[in-house]
Structures are given as structure tokens and as C-alpha cells.
Amino acid sequence: MAVLTELLRALTSGRISVIDLTARLTPEVPVLQLPEPFANTIGFQLEEISRFDDRGPAWYWNNIHTGEHTGTHFDAPVHWITGRDGLDIASVPPRQLIGPAVVLDFAAQVADDPDFLLEIDHIRDWERTHGPLPADGWLLLRTGWDTRSGDQDEFLNADENGSHTPGIAPECARWLAEETSLLGIGVETVGTDAGLAPTFEPAFPCHSLLLGAGKYGLTQLQNLALLPPTGAVLIASPLPIAGGSGSPTRVLALVEQD
């Protein structure tokens, strides 16, 4: 028990900080909008059951109404047709809900180009400074997009040509899926793919290639600016929805302080 005891001491003393990477679930949280004829998810809603009144004099509780892919959420492989025979959200091994995380920061580039795409060369340049991507870990793409999360229109950033949000180039998504031992990727945008991903080949490459390879996705992350490039430990806690394609998720990072 010495290791766990030391972890608790580090948390209590502040040598390890816990950073919440999760967007608060409110009716205002941005949700993906697919064009007709495709069906869309609902947003988040609370329905009060009782609140210290005749319906329940000593207790307060609510029903929740939401989609699996609302707010900060976890994409399981079965979410996409390429992973249809893969794991549902309740079947993700608990050991894979905790792992090392690295942060690739391209917020400056995205400020100049909202359609910025992460390329393989970007990752190789990053690795020359920080070392290899972590086995059984997460690549978190910081773009600064979380600063837009309070406004649906600004977050989706759509015009007549589609949504303009940053993401990962198709060839990079394929490389991450086939050539790395990552658990998955995490982004600050509404989904793991770039806004213009419907026009890519393949369409929605992060969904198609990474989920098809049995990897995972985390979306609508917050506070990635507070994480170091390497050294954080990520904890993702989705609801174990039997047969579910994903789940709203509390995502935490453990960061060792100097």
C-alpha cells in the first residue's frame, strides 16, 4: 500500500494537483448539429422531481435528459460503423480509463486559421523535443477552442461552406490509428474531427480510423492550457451504459507540481 499512501500524501500536500478538464453540463453546452436528413442529439436538460416540497419534503433530485455525445464525452469504438463490432462504453476496460497524457499546443496557429489541421510532421517535430507519444496514453490537442464554449454559434463556427473548427488531417489520423499505441485522442472541439471533415477522404477520419482501430475519443475538453506537454496522468470516468456508444464524462488530470 506504500505507493497509494504516497499518492494520497502528494494529493493532500499539493505536490500533485487535480485539474478538471470537463465542461459543466448545462442547457447551454454546445451540441453537434448535423444537416438534414440526419437525426441530431438533444442537449442537456434537468427535470426537477422534488425539492424539499410536497413531492419530497426532505430531498432534492432531478431526472436528466441528454444524449451520449453531449458536453465533454467519451467516444467508444462502437460509435462508428468501422468499429461497430468493437467495445461499447460499458465494456471499456477500467485500466484504460487511466493513462499518461501529452499535450500538443497549436492554439497560436488556430488563432490565425480556424481550419488548422494537425499533420504527422507536427507530431514528429514535437517528439524531437519531448520524446515519443506515450504507449497506452492520450494525445490531447490544445487549440484554444475551449474559450468559445460559452456560445453555440461561436463554438460550431459554421457558414454556408460548413463548420470551421480545427482538427486532425486524414493521413495523420491514419498514422495515429495504425502506427501508434495510443489509447486515443482528446480535443477541445465539439467532436474529434475537424469541422470540414465531411469533405475529407475518408470522411470523418478520426471517427472512421481511430474508432475503427479500437481507440477512443474525448471531446469538448477544457483547461488543457493548465497541463504540461508531458507528465500528466489522465482519468476519464464515463457512465457504464450497457450497449452505449459513448457517455458524458468527467475527465481529470493529475499534474505533479515543481
What residues are annotated to the active site? Answer: 79
What's the rounded Cα separation, in Å, for the pair 171 and 157?
A: 24
Residue 77 in contact with residue 83, Cβ under 8 Å? yes
- State the Cα–Cα distance between residues 3 and 192, nearest whole angstrom: 35
Q: What is the DSSP letter of 67?
A: -
Q: Is the peptide bond before 202 cis (omega within 30 degrees of 0)?
A: yes
Distance CA 203, CA 195 (A): 11
Residue 63 DSSP label: E
Answer whether 185's CB lies under 8 Å from 99's CB. Answer: no
Closest CA to 141 of 252, 255, 219, 257: 219
CB atoms within 10 A of CB 246: 24
